[in-house]
A and B are shown apart, each in its own frame.
Chain A
Amino acid sequence: EADIYQTPRYLVIGTGKKITLECSQTMGHDKMYWYQQDPGMELHLIHYSYGVNSTEKGDLSSESTVSRIRTEHFPLTLESARPSHTSQYLCASRGTGLYNEQFFGPGTRLTVL
């Protein structure tokens, strides 16, 4: 069973606030990902990491930043939240090997007022 956690599950904040969305996994996976998803839309990759101290931006431009100081931890930070950042944020991890799936966390529903 996948063990990947995200906190908080829901967050409502005002414009201009700095926020950090937490993601942790206990599977020892090197690969971790952040997706943004709106209803009726595909999952958009915004950041990924293939190991400690390795981070890359995904296809969807995002004003967020990420860090990967420990294998198990991949937090996402928004320095100044705006209403356009309102969305669901999904964290995922994947083991090494050619054919294996991504395991997703429960997601964080962010609302910026």
Chain B
Amino acid sequence: DQQVKQNSPSLSVQEGRISILNCDYTNSMFDYFLWYKKYPAEGPTFLISISSIKDKNEDGRFTVFLNKSAKHLSLHIVPSQPGDSAVYFCAASVISNQFYFGTGTSLTVIP
């Protein structure tokens, strides 16, 4: 059974607006969460992470929010830019063990 789920396969947003990508997980032992960005025919690129002791982490235009009680995390991109168009994967792990990945959300930012 999939432990990390991204229920929205795709998302379209106007340039300059906020993009919100969501991720749910089932394993309450997960304590480290990451977001990756992936272009076709390339490997994923690390974007931002958050540990379970925090509920928010910010890096420039990217902010990740973690709601442990709901087992939910989200990635906010503000403002969205056309270059942000890619597939975004969330991943989760228990401390330094293997990561479990979601199926990805394809973001399209419309100029």
Contact = CB atoms under 8 A, between A and B. Distances in A.
Interface of A: 4, 6, 9, 31, 33, 35, 40-43, 45, 48, 58, 88, 90-92, 94, 96-107, 109
Nearest to A90: B43
A8 to B, nearest CB: 12
23 contacts: A31-B96, A41-B103, A42-B4, A42-B103, A43-B101, A45-B98, A45-B99, A88-B41, A90-B43, A91-B43, A92-B43, A94-B96, A98-B96, A99-B51, A101-B46, A102-B34, A102-B46, A102-B91, A103-B46, A104-B36, A105-B43, A106-B42, A107-B42
- The 9 A-B residue pairs whose C-beta atoms are closest, nearest first, are A104-B43, A43-B101, A101-B46, A42-B101, A42-B103, A107-B43, A104-B44, A106-B43, A105-B43
Interface of B: 2, 4, 9, 32, 34, 36, 41-46, 49, 51, 89, 91, 95-96, 98-104
A42 B89 contact: yes
Nearest to B6: A42
A101 B91 CA distance: 10
Contact of A107 (B4, B41, B51, B100): B41
B102 A42 contact: yes
Nearest to B106: A40
Contacts of A33: 98
Contacts of A101: 34, 46, 49
Contacts of A43: 44, 89, 91, 101
B96 to A, nearest CB: 6
Contacts of B34: 101-102
Given A45-B98, A106-B43, A40 B9 contact: yes
A48 B98 contact: yes
Given A42-B103, A106-B43, 16 more contacts: A41-B103, A42-B4, A42-B100, A42-B101, A43-B89, A43-B91, A97-B96, A98-B95, A99-B49, A99-B96, A100-B96, A102-B91, A104-B43, A106-B42, A107-B41, A107-B43
